[in-house]
Amino acid sequence: MMPVFTEHFGNASSIHWFGQYAKALIDDARQQVAKLINAEVSEIVFVSGGTEADNLAIRGIAESLRSKGRQGRHIITSKIEHHAVLHTCGDLEKQGYEVTWLPVSVDGLVDPDDVVKAIRPDTILISIMHANNEIGTIQPIAEIGAIADKADIYFHSDGVQAMGKIPVDVRQLKVDLYSMSGHKIHGPKGVGALFVKKGTPLKPTMTGGGHERNRRSGTENVAGIVGFGVAARLAREGLNSEMNRVRELRDQLEAGLKSKIEAIHVNAENAPRLPNTSNIMVDCAEGEGLVIALDLNGIAVSTGSACSSGSLEPSHVLTAIGRTPDENHGSLRFSLSSMTTEEDVNCVLEAMPGIVERLRELSPHYKR
């Protein structure tokens, strides 16, 4: 990214050499992102991140179909989506759209049969995330995609957590729109992308100079896009080996905590999960206290999604899988990555038993 900041600072929409060089850099990054999910280069739209990608997908479909006179105003989604989807669908409800909020199992999985039952003649969009950002459950996206395809309904999936962590093939998944974010695969913050299947109608949510094939106006963030492209290439090249390595570390972390600390549980333990995400529920220990104590030991975890980790509101995801408010507030999310080592895991296993014991001594609910 540094040469873009210091030397190749041209506007990619300009026709002079500086601009065309910047455009070539974007074209290369677009190809790398497309390769990561088996898309065509022209199907990748660069945006500012996962939140904008979700908004563009959902609002773009709704507005496009409305402007074309299609009467459908029904959307299907789940109760455990990222807030970028939940709040967008909620906003559309206020504008007269109807939304079906699908429940999930105790392991955080959407039942494809519930999707079938929710479909109506006026359904225009199904939006189900590929993998959950708090508990890591991987949804049966290919099955849901086949259902949407058969019913001729547009299908969007928030793939921010999945891309670069597990194999993603948008053709096999039968998605029409797929959201991505650069910083989830060690790229820079403030850049993302939306896969838009060729032929999918999409009304822009930002208008202006007609950038990104008239799908997202605004001068391109060349440095961010270049960084995203490199991150996508590195993720693709090391995907299988890193996926297995990180999964082994996660399993080691979970097994170690369960052997050292009584009365702890892994949320969604029996579901297909991302290799890098572990959500641990600790009985009779307050989550905020655990976060602070672990932080003092140089260990960074969260009590929910990173986007809302400063909130005292209970996690909507854990509530949806049946956790009580007390259980909710005693849950921690551990996120591993390609930079996580066995030494890091051992550090957690050494620090956490003592922290839990001290916090439980302060709890009126804990009985030895």
Gap between the Cα atoms of 246 and 137, Å rounded: 16
- CA-wise closest residue to 292 among 309, 307, 280, 278: 309
Q: Which residues make beta-bridge pairs with 99?
A: 75
Q: How far apart are CA 182 and CA 169, in angstroms?
A: 18
From the number of C-beta atoms within 10 Å of its C-beta (0-12, 13-18, 19+), residue 281 rates as buried
108: nearest Cα among 307, 277, 250: 277
- Kindly state the tokens that stand for 207: 């208008």
CA distance 132 to 316: 12
Burial class of residue 176 (count of CB atoms within 10 Å of its CB; 0-12, 13-18, 19+): buried
How far apart CA 249 and CA 299 sit, in angstroms, is 15
Residue 269 makes CB contacts below 8 A (sequence gap 6+) with 107, 254
Listed in sequence order, the residues at least 6 apart from 368 whose beta carbon sits closer than 8 Å to its beta carbon are: none
| Residue of 89, 284, 307, 347 with catalytic role | 307
Q: For this structure, is 347 an active site residue?
A: no
Instruction: Name the residues annotated as catalytic.
Output: 307
